[in-house]
C-alpha cells in the first residue's frame, strides 16, 4: 500500500498519504481557472458527517458525470481557496469535463466518526446504526445527486491502494447511480497475500514503515497528522531492521502500544475470524456497476488484491461488465509517468500513458458519458519480456498448458522430471544473524524496484540454492499463477521458504543504444518471487510444526505473471529461507514469532529434495506460441 506525500522526520523521508504519482500536469492555475471548489460535511445515515471536497467545472452549458474517490490519506489541501494541482484519475479527466469529489473516510483527517482499518462489510444491516463502507458510499452518492447542480445522474469511483479497497467495498449493494468503478491495486486480504502478510510471513519493512508513518490514531477531526516523529538513525533499511531485532521490539522501542491495529496483528499470527472478516473478496456478490480492476505485474504491495478482486467479482456476479488491466507497473505506476521501464527492465512502450488515454478514460467515458465504443476486452494485459499488450477473452488464458520446472542435480532446471531413484538433495544453512538481503543495494525498506531486481547478489551466497535451465532455443511464455511444490526438510520446527522465478539474460546483452558494454549481460531479472512461512504449508488457520529432518511437502500459490523468456535466455529458480527486511526472520521454532526474543533465534539447515520419489518443482502455465 504505497503512500506518496513525503513527510520528513529527523532527516528521514517517510511516505504519507495516498499515492500521487506525477501526472501530465493540469497545473494549479488551470484548475482554479476552470473549476470551482466547495467543501461540505455530508451526513451519513447514523448522523456522522464526512468531510468532502467538490470540484465542479465552471462551464455551466452542459451536465457532467461525478467521479468520487474516498481515502484515509487526506483530501488536502483544506480550504475553499486552496486547490489541488491535478484532479481526477489523470489530467485527461478534468480536460474532458467531470465533477470530481474527494472524501476523507470516517474517522480520518477532517471527517467525524470512528475509523476502522479495512472495516468489515456487513451483508445484513439491522438498521441505520449498522454502517460499513458500502453504506457510507451509498449515502455520499445520494447526497451528491440531491445537492450538486449540473450532474448527469451518473457516478464513477476510482482509487489506488487503500482507496481501492473503498471502491471495492462501495460497489457492493451500490447506489443505482453508480455506473462504473475502478478498484486499482485494491487492498483485499491483509493476511493471505496483501501488504502485511504473504502466506503467513509478516512483511516487516512494509508493515513497520507504513504503520510508523500512517498508522497513528486520529483523536478528532484535524488537518495535521497526529503521528510523532521517529528517528531511524540510518537510511540503510537492512541495518535498521537488524538493529530493531525481534518483532516485539517495535512496540518496546517505537510504537509504545499506541497503534491498535499493530497490537492486534502481533497477537493474531494465523488467519482467524478477525482476519477473515477483513477479506473483502468474500463479499463481492451484489455488484451492479461496470468494473475495471487495475494492477501492476511489479506491484510490491497489492498485486494479489487486484487479481483477487477481479476473480471474485467475475465468479460471483455473472453478466456484469468486469475487466482486468495488468501492466508492467509498480504500485500505482499507471497513474503517472510514461511506464516505459523499471530499474534495468525495459518495456519498449509508454505503457502508463497508453493506459490512461486508451483504457481508463475510454472506460469511464463510455459508461458515464455514452462516449465512444465499448470495445474493451475481458483482460487487457501486458506481456513482459515480449513487451506487448495483449487482449484476452479470459484471465488466465484458457489455452494454457500445465507444465513443471523440475529442480535437478548439479543446479540444473528442466521440464523433464528427475529420473534418479536415489534420495538426491541439496542443502544450505540459514543464519538469522546474516539473512539474505532483499536488494543488491541500499534501500530504506521494501524498495519497489525489488520486483525486477538483479538477483546475482543472492545467487552468489552459500545459503541460496540456484537451478538454471539450458539456453532456450525458443521463446517460453508463462502466464497465470505459479505454484512452487517442494519436498524439503529442516533441522528446526519451523522454516520459511522463498522461491524466485528469474529471467537470466545472455552474457552479452545490448542496452538501448546497442552497446554491450553494460551490466545487463547475465542480468538475473526477478520475474516473480514469493515466501511461505512453513508452518502454514497446509493451512493459514491451523499451523503445523515440522518434524526435524523429516521430508515434507511444501506447496503454495504465487500471484500471476505474464512473461516471455526469450530465445537465448535461461530460466532460473532460486530457493532460500531468509529475505530481509522484506519478511521478518523466522527463529526456526514453532511459535508465535511476534512473541519471540533474541534467545529464540537459531541456525537451521534445510534440504531440498529432487529425486524421482521426492521431486521439487515449480508448476507453471505455458501459453502456446
List Cα–Cα distances, 256 to 9, 269, 388, in angstroms: 18, 20, 49
As a whole number, mean pLDDT of residues 269-275 equals 98
Number of separate domains in the chain? 2
What is the average pLDDT value for the chain, to the nearest integer? 94
Query: Looking at the predicted structure, is the pLDDT value of residue 237 above 80?
Result: yes
Residue 526 lies in a domain: yes
β-sheet bridge partners, residue 412: 468
Domain of 610? Answer: 401-622
pLDDT at 23 over 70: no
What does the block give as the cell for 254?
517505537
* C-alpha to C-alpha distances, 372 to 88, 322, 323, nearest whole angstrom: 19, 18, 17
- What is the torsion angle, in degrees rounded to the nearest 10, for the CA atoms of residue 395, residue 396, residue 400 and residue 406? 170
Strands 290-296 and 401-407, sheet pairing: unpaired
The 10s digit of each residue's pLDDT in 561-578 is 999 999 999 999 999 999
- H/E stretch holding 92 reads helix 91-96
Q: In 79-169, at which residue ranges do the beta strands (DSSP E only) sit?
A: 99-104, 151-160
Which pLDDT score is estimated for 229? 87
352-375 pLDDT tens trace = 999 999 999 999 999 999 999 999
Q: Is residue 224 part of a domain?
A: no
What mean pLDDT comes out for the span 33-58? 98
Secondary structure class of 449 (helix, strand, coil): helix
- For residues 65 and 153, give the distance between their C-alpha atoms in angstroms, rounded to a whole number: 7
Same domain? 459 vs 362? no
- 585 pLDDT band (50/70/90 cuts)? very high
Same domain, 105 and 37: yes
CATH of the domain at 127: 3.40.50.1820
Mean pLDDT within 147-153: 98
pLDDT of residue 25: 60
Q: Within this chain, do residues 438 and 290 fall inside the same structural domain, yes or no?
A: no
From 392, 410, 427, give the residue that closes a domain.
Answer: 392
Q: Are residues 300 and 383 in the same domain?
A: yes
Asked if the model's pLDDT at residue 24 lies above 70, the reply is no
Residues 294 and 441 placed together within one structural domain of the fold:
no
Asked if 310 and 171 sit in the same domain, the reply is: yes
Asked, for residue 267, whether it belongs to a domain, the answer is no
Q: Are residues 43 and 160 in the same domain?
A: yes
Per-residue pLDDT at 512: 81
Could you tell me if 116 and 9 lie in one domain? yes
Domain end point (choices 341, 370, 392): 392
Domain stop point among 358, 392, 426: 392
pLDDT of 62 over the 60 cut: yes
Which cell numbers hold the place of 558?
504465487
Asked if residue 19 is part of any domain, the answer here is yes
Domain identity same for 28 and 177: yes
For residue 240, tell me if it sits in a domain: no
Q: What angle do CA 99, 105, 111 make, to 5 degrees?
A: 100
535 and 411 both lie in a single domain: yes
Could you give the CA distance from residue 62 to residue 150 in angstroms, rounded to a whole number?
A: 7
Give the model's pLDDT for residue 516. 87
Amino acid at each position: 500500500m504505497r503512500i506518496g506525500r513525503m513527510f520528513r522526520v529527523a532527516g528521514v523521508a517517510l511516505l504519507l498519504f495516498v499515492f500521487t504519482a506525477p501526472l501530465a500536469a493540469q497545473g494549479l492555475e488551470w484548475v482554479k481557472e476552470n473549476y470551482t471548489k466547495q467543501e461540505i460535511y455530508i451526513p451519513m445515515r447514523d448522523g456522522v458527517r464526512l468531510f468532502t471536497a467538490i470540484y465542479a467545472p465552471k462551464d455551466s452549458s452542459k451536465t457532467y458525470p461525478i467521479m468520487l474517490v474516498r481515502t484515509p490519506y487526506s483530501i488536502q489541501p483544506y480550504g475553499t481557496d486552496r486547490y489541488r494541482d491535478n484532479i481526477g484519475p489523470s489530467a485527461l479527466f478534468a480536460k474532458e469535463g467531470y465533477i470530481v469529489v474527494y472524501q476523507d473516510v470516517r474517522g480520518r483527517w477532517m471527517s467525524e466518526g470512528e475509523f476502522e482499518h479495512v472495516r468489515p462489510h456487513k451483508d445484513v444491516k439491522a438498521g441505520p446504526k449498522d454502517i460499513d463502507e458500502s453504506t457510507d458510499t451509498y449515502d455520499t452518492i445520494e447526497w451528491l445527486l440531491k445537492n450538486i447542480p449540473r450532474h448527469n445522474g451518473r457516478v464513477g469511483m476510482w482509487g489506488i491502494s487503500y482507496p481501492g479497497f473503498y471502491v471495492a467495498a462501495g460497489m457492493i449493494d451500490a447506489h443505482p447511480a453508480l455506473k462504473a468503478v475502478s478498484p486499482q491495486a485494491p487492498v483485499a486480504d491483509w493476511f493471505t497475500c496483501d501488504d502485511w502478510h504473504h502466506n503467513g510471513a509478516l512483511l516487516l519493512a512494509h508493515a513497520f514503515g507504513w504503520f510508523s508513518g500512517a498508522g497513528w490514531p486520529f483523536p478528532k477531526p484535524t488537518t495535521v497528522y497526529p503521528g510523532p516523529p521517529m528517528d531511524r538513525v540510518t537510511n540503510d533499511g537492512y541495518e535498521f531492521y537488524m538493529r530493531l531485532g525481534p518483532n516485539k521490539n517495535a512496540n518496546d522501542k517505537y510504537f509504545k502500544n499506541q497503534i491498535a491495529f499493530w497490537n492486534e496483528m502481533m497477537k493474531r499470527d494465523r488467519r482467524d475470524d478477525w482476519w477473515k472478516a477483513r477479506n473483502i473478496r468474500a463479499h463481492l456478490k451484489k455488484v451492479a456497476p461496470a468494473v475495471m480492476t487495475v494492477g501492476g505485474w511489479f506491484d510490491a504491495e497489492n498485486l494479489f488484491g487486484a487479481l483477487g478482486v477481479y476473480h471474485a467479482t467475475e465468479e460471483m456476479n455473472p453478466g456484469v461488465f468486469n475487466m482486468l488491466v495488468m501492466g508492467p507497473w509498480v504500485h500505482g505506476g499507471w497513474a503517472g509517468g510514461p511506464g516505459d521501464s523499471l530499474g534495468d527492465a525495459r518495456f519498449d512502450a509508454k505503457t502508463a500513458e497508453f493506459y490512461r488515454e486508451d483504457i481508463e478514460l475510454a472506460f469511464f467515458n463510455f459508461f458515464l458519458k455514452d462516449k465512444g465504443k465499448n470495445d474493451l476486452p475481458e483482460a487487457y494485459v501486458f506481456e513482459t519480456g515480449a513487451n506487448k499488450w495483449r487482449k484476452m477473452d479470459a484471465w488466465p488464458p484458457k489455452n494454457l498448458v500445465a507444465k513443471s520446472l523440475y529442480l535437478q542435480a548439479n543446479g540444473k532446471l528442466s521440464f523433464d522430471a528427475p529420473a534418479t531413484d536415489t534420495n538426491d538433495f541439496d542443502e544450505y544453512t540459514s543464519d538469522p544473524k546474516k539473512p539474505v538481503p532483499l536488494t543488491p543495494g541500499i534501500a530504506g525498506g521494501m524498495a519497489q524496484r525489488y520486483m525486477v531486481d538483479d538477483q546475482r547478489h543472492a545467487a552468489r551466497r552459500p545459503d541460496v540454492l540456484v537451478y538454471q535451465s539450458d539456453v532456450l532455443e525458443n521463446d517460453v511464455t508463462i502466464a497465470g499463477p505459479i505454484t512452487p511444490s517442494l519436498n524439503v526438510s529442516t533441522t528446526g520446527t519451523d522454516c520459511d521458504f522463498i522461491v524466485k522465478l528469474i529471467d537470466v539474460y545472455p552474457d552479452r546483452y545490448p542496452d538501448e543504444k546497442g552497446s554491450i558494454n553494460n551490466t545487463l549481460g547475465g542480468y538475473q531479472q526477478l520475474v516473480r518471487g514469493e515466501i511461505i512461512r512453513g508452518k502454514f504449508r497446509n493451512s493459514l488457520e491451523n499451523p503445523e510444526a515440522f518434524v526435524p529432518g523429516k521430508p515434507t511437502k511444501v506447496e503454495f500459490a504465487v500471484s500471476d505473471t505474464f512473461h516471455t523468456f526469450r530465445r537465448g535466455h535461461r530460466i532460473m529458480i532460486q530457493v532460500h529461507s531468509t529475505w530481509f527486511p522484506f519478511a521478518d526472520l523466522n527463529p526456526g521454532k514453532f511459535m508465535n514469532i511476534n512473541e519471540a526474543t533474541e534467545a529464540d533465534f537459531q541456525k537451521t539447515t534445510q534440504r531440498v529434495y529432487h529425486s524421482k520419489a521426492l521431486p521439487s518443482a515449480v508448476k507453471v502455465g505455458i501459453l502456446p506460441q
